[in-house]
Copies of this chain bind each other. A is one copy, B any other.
């Protein structure tokens, strides 16, 4: 009996042509990725707001290092396991933008805080006490952001009184804990389709955050940081005059759900950089089948989109993606309306061949990356590098 799980070898090596990548595989267009990172960081720098890129989107230490090299002050993550993985890879400034309450996890968090600049969020006085005990036991120092629920209705204090009480508890736990400020992320705003709606929702969030910040300061409590903002809204946090730091993650990779948003007037457009490469494994009359499914691409935000002219995704199951001619595309490109009985698009879009590689854009990048052990970083028609993704267990 094997006593442990393991990781298989990468599906490609630097220098390989794209046609030699073993599938299914996660492929990153380096030109698009680098353009996205440069554009986001230029946008934030011009507005005097720091970027703390969210590592939950990619879980890839090499991507994190490149974001820091491009000017990010550090990385956000959601889990102690992610923080441990990024710290082991050399990321020196990490915010766990989430609540941690389990005593064993708090002990790991405190150990980690002895090695890197670490911050975490709280929304419950019991968690403040438990965090302080863990830090005292480990002789560690952790920065704390009070999470304020600015409208998402998930975690976070819902009243200013609650924020002040939590901040007092943190301040009273010095030197183990140090109050850094507020976490004011509105996850529910990221995919509101209309730019004006997103703008209004973030304006309201910023007003709430400003009120909490000012109340803390009036009470003699520290609040140097107001952190929040994601790929769907960062243009509004950077314009708010309230947020000091933004936390976008998906911007570097992109997905269909973010691309479906109406563009923001002042935000740079981001390019689709991540994709899932699959191979054609079966060609039938009127459809074909790709060799990847739910274990290669997440469908929680809808089906992936196929980058193959004239074809579209019909359905995704565990290890199969069925694709079919896109009737709309066929009609558009076959104005003659010829009378052949077969699927109309076959006149304009040739059927893929067994073994042919196809790339799909994921509906949601975060859970898609989590299905892969390796990011295959490509430039043009070649593999340039192969980067490991943090293990599945990083969710703990």
Contacts and interface: CB of A to CB of B under 8 A. Distances in A.
A218 interface: no
A266 interface: no
Interface stretch (A203-211, A221-229, A288-296): A288-296
- From A2, A105, A395, name the one whose CB has the most chain B CB atoms within 10 angstroms: A395
Interface of A: 1-9, 11, 22-25, 56, 61-62, 65, 78-79, 81, 88-90, 98-105, 123-124, 126-127, 149, 153-156, 158, 187, 279-285, 287, 289, 291-292, 294-296, 298-300, 316-320, 322, 354-355, 364, 366-367, 370-374, 388-396
19 contacts: A2-B388, A5-B390, A6-B388, A7-B7, A8-B391, A11-B396, A22-B105, A22-B396, A24-B396, A79-B319, A101-B282, A102-B355, A123-B282, A294-B367, A295-B367, A295-B392, A300-B300, A318-B367, A373-B391
Contacts of A389: 5
A161 to B, nearest CB: 13
Nearest to A187: B317
Given A154-B322, A282-B155, A2 B88 contact: yes
A124 B284 CA distance: 9
A289 to B, nearest CB: 5
Nearest to A372: B392
Given A283-B124, A285-B158, A319-B78, A393 B370 contact: no
A187 to B, nearest CB: 7
Contact of A99 (B156, B158, B281, B391): B281
Given A2-B89, A282-B123, A388-B2, A23 B367 contact: no
Given A6-B388, A8-B393, 7 more contacts: A11-B396, A56-B318, A99-B289, A100-B281, A124-B283, A371-B371, A373-B393
A392 B367 contact: no
Contacts of A187: 317
Given A295-B370, A366-B318, A6 B391 contact: yes
Contact of A126 (B100, B123, B316, B354): B354
Nearest to A369: B295
A75 to B, nearest CB: 15
A7 B4 contact: yes
Nearest to A23: B396
Nearest to A149: B284
